[in-house]
Structure 1
Amino acid sequence: MRTLITGGIRSGKSAIAENLMGEGTTYVATSPSRPEDTDWAARIQEHRRRRPASWPTVETTDLPSALTALNGPALVDSLGAWLVALLDRLDAWDQPVAQWRGRLDDEVSALVSTWSTCSHDLVAVTDEVGFGGIAEHRSARIHADELGRLNQAIAGVSDRVWLVVAGQVLVVKDSS
């Protein structure tokens, strides 16, 4: 079973994803460390406190490899953080799209392929984009556009897609 859980910031999507998982779950954290950002560190600490201590944690930005190495179910939090790390690595924020589009598409295709063929139960958390206007800044537009494309691709090969609004789940897709 592959489930994509999407929603706005602080909508409750991570807590819902965590409650969906059971014993033996591997928590795959995709956000690079930012020791200088105390607000970010507090968010990470909140997630750590909430999940069971028995869950092993894999911190990586190489999500396809992490999914391939699994021995059981996993919760990925989050696709948006993974995408930011990838766009950073590709230096996409300051380069013309033509310089990084092909490499980004290859990385996303690898993730979608791994997600769709993984034999373990998977849950991924992602931010929903597109409820607002077009962002003023290029980096925000790139992030929103690419996360929207990534979310569509993962949703297309997921069994379930849930949208979380104010802590409430709306079922978008259920092929289970």
Structure 2
Amino acid sequence: MIELVLGGARSGKSRYAEQQAQASGKSVVYIATAEAGDDEMRARIERHRADRAESWQTVEEPIRLGETIKQHAGEGHCLLIDCLTLWLSNVLFDKQGVLQLSRFQQEKDALLQALSARPGRIVMVSNEVGQGVVSVHKTTRRFVDEAGRLHQEIAAISDKVVLVTAGLPMVLKRNGVRR
């Protein structure tokens, strides 16, 4: 089963996803996509690490998400991927902020292929970034566009899609059926 959990910053989406993973009764593999580029991000990553159950295996993979899913997915596992939008920025842009379209397309294809062969349970967290104003900066517009397309493609193959706002989960799709 694939579950996509969307929400804004500090919406409670990660907490909700962690609760879903814990409730699965499966062995949880937490796949973290963040990279610590500054002190504030390092602190965020440390808070997330501290919040995880000690029994969970953590895999830190900022780029090769499809390959990581293939390596760790299984009937007895629940993969918790946090977060798709951080992964998207890692594959869409290089460290200098230059667009990397061929790498992005290759990694996106690998992700979608790995999800289609999905043994076990997968819970994915992502930021809903498309509900604000249209940015004047073309790089930001490109990121928002790609995030929206990625969410639509993953939602289409997901069994469940949840939007979390103010800590409240709203089910948009369940058992493959839109609400």
Normalization by structure 1: what TM-score?
0.88
In structure 1, give the amino acid aligned to 2:107.
Answer: E
SS at match of 2:133: coil
Q: Could you tell me which residue of structure 1 aligns to residue 82 of structure 2?
A: 77
Deviations 1:45-95 (A, max 9, x none): 12111110111110012101110011421100000011111012497x445
**Unpaired stretches in structure 1, ≥5 consecutive residues:** none
Q: Could you tell me which residue of structure 2 aligns to residue 26 of structure 1?
A: 29
In structure 1, give the amino acid aligned to 2:89.
Answer: V
**Is 2:17 aligned against 1:12?**
no
1:114-153 superposed matches below 5 A: 114-153=114-153
**Cα distance change on mapping 1:142 and 1:50 into 2, 3 Å:** same
1:98-117 superposed matches below 5 A: 100-117=100-117
In structure 2, give the amino acid aligned to 1:51.
Answer: R
CA contact (8 A) 1:116 1:158 kept: no
Q: Distance in 2 between matches of 1:144 and 1:90?
A: 18
Deviations 1:97-141 (A, max 9, x none): xxx545533321221121121101000000112211111222211
Query: How many residues are matched?
Result: 169
1:62 to 61, 64, 69: 64
Q: Could you tell me which residue of structure 1 aligns to residue 47 of structure 2?
A: 46
CA contact (8 A) 1:3 1:160 kept: yes
With 107-116 and 82-91 compared, the bigger mean Cα shift is at 82-91
Q: Could you tell me which residue of structure 2 aligns to residue 154 of structure 1?
A: 154
Q: Distance in 2 between matches of 1:51 and 1:78?
A: 15
Q: Distance in 2 between matches of 1:9 and 1:116?
A: 28
Alignment RMSD? 1.8
Identity of aligned residues (%): 37
**Cα distance change on mapping 1:12 and 1:172 into 2, 3 Å:** same
SS at match of 1:162: strand
**Cα distance change on mapping 1:102 and 1:62 into 2, 3 Å:** closer
